[in-house]
């Protein structure tokens, strides 16, 4: 009886989408509402509508609320949502493509590249005249793209067909090398240590609409490309030869997926630092609940990843308020036990 | 359909395949065989474009394979690989649906009604429909194999390439799968190229076979032509004997194990023979290869026990084979290891002798009763009441006989028997002509299959001479005993 219910539930992906969309909206409202000053949900909705639809006035709402919601909390919440969604969708795609449940968006070394860009900016105190405070994310994103192309170039030099093992190995080697560069700068630095560590652990504090403008186009382009490759990802989960037999142009599609996933990862790391766990665990979580079909796995992961990171950010800034914890710490601290519970429960159910 | 001309290719710089050419016709079930490492899988991967072609060309429907786009190629050729990666547990239906990938176009690649009906059909054909919502990692190896077969069929291909399709399947499914493939080649004109490890399966089902050795073509011809004992021994470098299939006109290859311990050549001796009123028995330590017309263990086989049982002259039983088996079991014989004969003749009238020749010998045992003597040459229907009488002949030889030698020994033994009957003046009681035997005679030729090789058993060969002489003497002696007892009141 219960099994039947679970099956019906898993077959009906519609329910999955509805559930997760409600969760996203709810977490956005929750994240925007809670803080040192509490803002009621109705005010938030009013503010948002008045900003989006011209002509609608927000006179009824306290102007302090408008400032808090529109300039401080909402961009932060939306940014964490976008970062979470990007990492989760890229993680899901990489796991499918590399046929490795341990793969995550950082496997290719993109994050290390972005980190090197950011740490270099902090270490040398760089600030370009036009970019100002955006020097760091821009440098970081440029560094991440350079990394992708170097990694893929090397992988292709080693093995023309770019087998999965080659890609993973090349990624690991580059991550180690770039990681060592970061450690070197940390060792040499004095005053900027806290700033560097803080960035490396990941944070979405002190971010505004401009950061959203940086990540949003990459998020749209990256996720759309990945979603169009959902069937190819399904086919490649059965091995590249099998995918070829099924008619997939493996080499080309693989390159597209790697680049799209890396764009998402690079942009996410550039605006928020290396936030772990989301990209690794959210796709697993979705797979357990609704199956591995990438057509649904990718969008569902994006929704779940977004709301998960919004919640994690909420916890990180409220738990020892007024100071903040790094969000990367929170994701793992709450994520790992939840995941462990789901995994054991799932295994026990299967056996029973 | 598929033309392969002088192809060479393989992994990296090493050419596994060397100058291979052959053709496969439409609607053919084509087998590829060869020892491990002979390039079977490499050949299949080269045809399916997984591995690059170094030289030569492969044309499918007259067009070079490299000219096809990935999707068009998948619409034409489907592959059932030996192994598939299963990192994530897709359901059976999701897995099968992927077979339609090449047929779907447009940005969203949605599944059309036609796709859906094909998916349903192939799932039913392969018998996985009932598991359609189960994750594939919960299925058994054989079920999984059928899911991937369904996936390949969902591609609606004209050509199906299979790499050892019967690998994970038990006997029943092996037969079922190959029967279905055979049917599809006949009915749907599907062309199938399959790798086989099992030469017998390949021989049974394939129209033609390609035999590979170290990347080279040995022969490509009809299966009976390819599966010749000498050729298979050369290519596989192992001991093989060929044997006709009992039901299908195809050759089967039998492995010959090397563990048999051939120490003693002489295993049949007079001492093994036990004669009582009720039965004559002989048990050997090692089985004898026999050809016989007994009640149990008839035909060709290997047997260790031989029983000639006396039954009452009024013995009448509807299922005498079953009754005989029960009798053997009751008396401590294994019916499956025993050649059993029956006779109404007195066993004490019988005669046996050991005859010897250069390097081999034979024990001959004959029991005779001729109350029912018949002249076979007249072919007359019997009108008078059945009278008991049987001549049972055993010829047990210490030597190795060929198949021909067995049959020739039967002929020679029979001829000697007829000669003895004629000399004793025994007549067909109905026609009053000279009889040739009785209506229920049996013969057994058994050989130890060790010691001297005796290829022929005709009347002028050493074996034939020995058998002829021995059977003649013993039969004559047994008939004398029978006549003597019956003529003295």
Model pLDDT for residues A219-230, shown as the tens digit of each residue: 999 999 999 999
Least-confidence region, from A154-163, B102-111, B245-254, B289-298: B102-111
Q: What average pLDDT is seen over chain B?
A: 86
> Rounded mean pLDDT of B429-440?
84
Distance from the Cα of A226 to chain B's closest Cα (Å) equals 12
Nearest to A248 among B84, B95, B101 (CB): B101
Contact A99 B152 (CB under 8 A): no
Q: What is the 3-state secondary structure (H, E, C) of B18-80?
A: EEEEEEECCCCEEEEECCCCCCHHHHHHHHCCCCCEEEEEEEECCEEHHHCCHHHHHHHEEEE
Question: Is the confidence at residue A312, as pLDDT, over 70?
Answer: yes
Whether A327 contacts A316, CB under 8 Å: yes
Alpha-carbon distance B117 to B252, whole Å?
Answer: 41
For chain A, give the percent of residues with pLDDT over 70.
93
Each residue's pLDDT tens digit, B474-484 = 999 999 988 88
pLDDT of amino acid A346: 66
Question: Is the confidence at residue A304, as pLDDT, over 90?
Answer: yes
ipTM of the complex: 0.81
Nearest to A247 among B74, B107, B135 (CB): B74
pLDDT of amino acid A216: 92
Structure-token pair, residue B157: 């291909």
Task: Give the bridge partners for B216, in sequence order.
Answer: B213
> Rounded mean pLDDT of B203-232?
89
B residues 81-140 near A, CB within 8 Å?
Answer: 81, 84-91, 94-95, 98-99, 101-102, 104, 107, 109, 133, 135
> Closest by alpha carbon to B213, among B185, B182, B242, B234?
B234
Distance from the Cα of A250 to chain B's closest Cα (Å) equals 9
* Torsion of the alpha carbons at B87, B109, B80 and B82, rounded to the nearest 10: -20
Tokens 């059909």 correspond to what residue?
A: B121
Nearest to B87 among A7, A237, A247 (CB): A237
Burial of A183 (0-12, 13-18, 19+ CB in 10 A): exposed
pLDDT of amino acid A4: 42
Alpha-carbon distance A69 to A63, whole Å?
Answer: 10
Give the DSSP H/E element, type plus range, for residue B411: helix B403-423
Angle at B300 between CA B294 and CA B305, to 5 degrees: 55
Whether B31 contacts B205, CB under 8 Å: yes
Give B371's DSSP letter: T
Tokens 């490299």 correspond to what residue?
A: B66
Question: Is the confidence at residue B85, as pLDDT, over 70?
Answer: no
Question: Is the confidence at residue B442, as pLDDT, over 60?
Answer: yes
Map residue B4 onto helix, strand or coil: strand
Whether A298 contacts A92, CB under 8 Å: yes
**Contact residues for B75 (Cβ-Cβ < 8 A; gap 6+):** A247, B102, B103, B155, B156, B157
Nearest to B85 among A234, A238, A246 (CB): A238
Which positions in chain B touch A250 (Cβ < 8 Å)? 70
pLDDT of amino acid B15: 81
Structure-token pair, residue B281: 């028995």
* Torsion of the alpha carbons at A74, A77, A83 and A87, rounded to the nearest 10: -150
Contact B109 A287 (CB under 8 A): no
Map residue B363 onto helix, strand or coil: strand
Alpha-carbon distance A19 to B349, whole Å?
Answer: 97
Question: Is the confidence at residue A9, as pLDDT, over 90?
Answer: no
pLDDT of amino acid A180: 93
Measured CA to CA in angstroms, residue B464 lies from B408, B412, B453, B457 at distances of 8, 6, 13, 4
Most A-contacting residue of B76, B80, B88, B159 (CB-CB within 10 A), to test interface? B88
Contact B73 A247 (CB under 8 A): yes
| Residue with the larger pLDDT of the pair B313 and B408 | B408
Most A-contacting residue of B70, B82, B97, B153 (CB-CB within 10 A), to test interface? B70
pLDDT of amino acid B264: 64
């Amino acid at each position: 009886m219960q099994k039947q219910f679970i099956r019906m539930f898993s077959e009906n992906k519609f329910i999955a989408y509805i559930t997760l969309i409600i969760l996203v909206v709810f977490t956005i409202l929750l994240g925007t509402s809670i803080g040192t000053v509490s803002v009621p949900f109705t005010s938030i909705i009013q503010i948002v509508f008045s900003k989006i639809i011209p002509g609608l006035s927000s006179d009824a709402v306290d102007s302090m609320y408008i400032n808090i919601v529109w300039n401080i909390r909402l961009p932060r919440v939306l940014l964490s949502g976008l970062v979470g969604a990007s990492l989760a969708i890229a993680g899901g795609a990489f796991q499918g493509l590399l046929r490795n449940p341990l793969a995550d968006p950082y496997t290719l070394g993109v994050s290390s590249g972005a980190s090197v860009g950011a740490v270099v900016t902090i270490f040398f105190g760089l600030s370009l005249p036009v970019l100002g405070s955006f020097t760091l994310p821009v440098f970081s994103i440029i560094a991440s793209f350079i990394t992708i192309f170097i990694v893929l170039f090397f992988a292709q030099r080693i093995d023309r067909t770019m087998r999965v093992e080659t890609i993973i190995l090349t990624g690991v080697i580059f991550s180690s090398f770039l990681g060592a560069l970061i450690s070197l700068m940390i060792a040499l630095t004095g005053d900027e240590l806290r700033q560097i560590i803080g960035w490396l652990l990941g944070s979405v504090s002190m971010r505004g609409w401009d950061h959203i403008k940086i990540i949003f186009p990459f998020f749209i382009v990256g996720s759309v490309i990945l979603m169009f490759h959902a069937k190819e990802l399904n086919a490649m989960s059965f091995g590249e030869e099998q995918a070829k037999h099924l008619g997939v142009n493996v080499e080309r599609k693989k390159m597209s997926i790697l680049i799209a996933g890396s764009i998402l990862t690079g942009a996410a790391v550039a605006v928020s630092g290396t936030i772990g766990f989301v990209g690794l665990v959210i796709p697993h979580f979705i797979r357990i609940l609704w199956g591995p079909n990438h057509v649904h796995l990718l969008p569902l992961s994006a929704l779940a990843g977004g709301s998960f990171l919004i919640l994690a950010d909420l916890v990180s800034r409220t738990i020892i308020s007024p100071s903040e914890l790094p969000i990367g710490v929170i994701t793992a601290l709450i994520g790992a036990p939840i995941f462990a519970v789901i995994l054991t429960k799932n295994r026990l159910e299967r056996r029973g | 359909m598929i033309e392969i001309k002088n192809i060479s290719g393989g992994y990296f710089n090493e050419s596994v395949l060397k100058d291979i050419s052959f053709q496969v016709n439409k609607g053919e079930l084509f087998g590829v065989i060869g020892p491990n490492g002979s390039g079977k899988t490499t050949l299949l991967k080269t045809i399916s474009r997984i591995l690059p072609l170094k030289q030569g060309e492969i044309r499918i429907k007259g067009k070079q394979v490299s000219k096809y786009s990935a999707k068009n190629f998948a619409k034409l050729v489907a592959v059932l690989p030996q192994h598939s990666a299963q990192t994530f547990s897709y359901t059976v239906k999701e897995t099968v649906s992927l077979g339609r990938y090449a047929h779907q176009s447009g940005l969203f690649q949605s599944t059309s009604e036609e796709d859906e009906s094909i998916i349903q059909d192939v799932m039913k054909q392969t018998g996985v429909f009932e598991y359609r919502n189960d994750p594939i990692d919960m299925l058994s190896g054989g079920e999984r194999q059928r899911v991937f077969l369904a996936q390949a069929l969902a591609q609606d291909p004209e050509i199906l390439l299979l790499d050892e399709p019967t690998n994970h399947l038990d006997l029943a499914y092996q037969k079922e799968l190959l029967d279905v493939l055979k049917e599809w080649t006949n009915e749907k004109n599907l062309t199938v190229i399959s790798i086989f490890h099992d030469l017998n399966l390949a021989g049974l089902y394939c129209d033609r076979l390609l035999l590979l050795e170290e990347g080279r073509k040995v022969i490509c011809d009809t299966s009976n032509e390819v599966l010749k004992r000498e050729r298979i021994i050369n290519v596989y470098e192992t001991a093989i004997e060929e044997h006709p299939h009992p039901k299908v006109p195809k050759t089967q290859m039998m492995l010959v194990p090397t563990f048999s311990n051939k120490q003693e050549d002489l295993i049949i001796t007079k001492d093994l023979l036990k004669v009582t009123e009720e039965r004559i028995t002989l048990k050997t330590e090692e089985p004898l290869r026999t050809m016989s017309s007994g009640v149990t263990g008839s035909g060709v086989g290997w047997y260790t026990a031989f029983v000639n049982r006396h039954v009452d002259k009024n013995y009448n039983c509807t299922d005498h084979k079953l009754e005989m088996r029960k009798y053997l079991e009751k008396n401590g014989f294994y019916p499956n290891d025993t050649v059993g004969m029956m006779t109404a003749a007195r066993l004490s009238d019988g005669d046996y002798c050991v005859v010897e020749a250069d390097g081999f010998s034979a024990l001959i045992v004959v029991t005779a009763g001729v109350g029912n003597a018949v002249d076979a040459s007249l072919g007359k229907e019997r009108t008078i009441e059945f009278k008991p009488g049987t001549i049972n002949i055993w010829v047990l030889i210490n030597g190795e006989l060929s198949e021909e030698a067995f049959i020739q020994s039967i002929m020679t033994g029979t001829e000697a028997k007829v000669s003895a009957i004629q000399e004793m003046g025994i007549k067909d009681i109905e026609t009053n002509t000279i009889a040739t035997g009785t209506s229920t005679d049996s013969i057994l030729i058994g050989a130890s299959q060790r010691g001297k090789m005796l290829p022929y058993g005709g009347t002028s060969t050493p074996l034939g001479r020995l058998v002829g002489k021995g059977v003649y003497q013993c039969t004559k002696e047994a008939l004398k005993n029978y006549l003597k007892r019956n003529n003295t009141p």
